Amino acid sequence: MAEPDRPKVRTRGPRTVERIVEAAHRLFLSRGFAET
């Protein structure tokens, strides 16, 4: 019983999407910590 949103993103490229999300998350955290 997998979610319908998970297979759709995986068909487009789970590694590319995961890398972009990880990079954005790391940049956001780095900027938030540096500004705080």
pLDDT in tens, 1-36: 555 555 555 556 668 888 888 998 898 888 877 665
Helix axes 5-12, 14-35, angle to 10 degrees: 100
> Is the full-model pTM beyond 0.75?
no
Residue 29 tokens, joined: 């955290």
Is the four-CA dihedral 26, 28, 34, 36 of positive or negative sign?
negative
Residue 30 has what pLDDT? Answer: 85
Residue 1 has what pLDDT? Answer: 54
Residue 17 has what pLDDT? Answer: 82
- Residue labelled with tokens 């956001």: 28
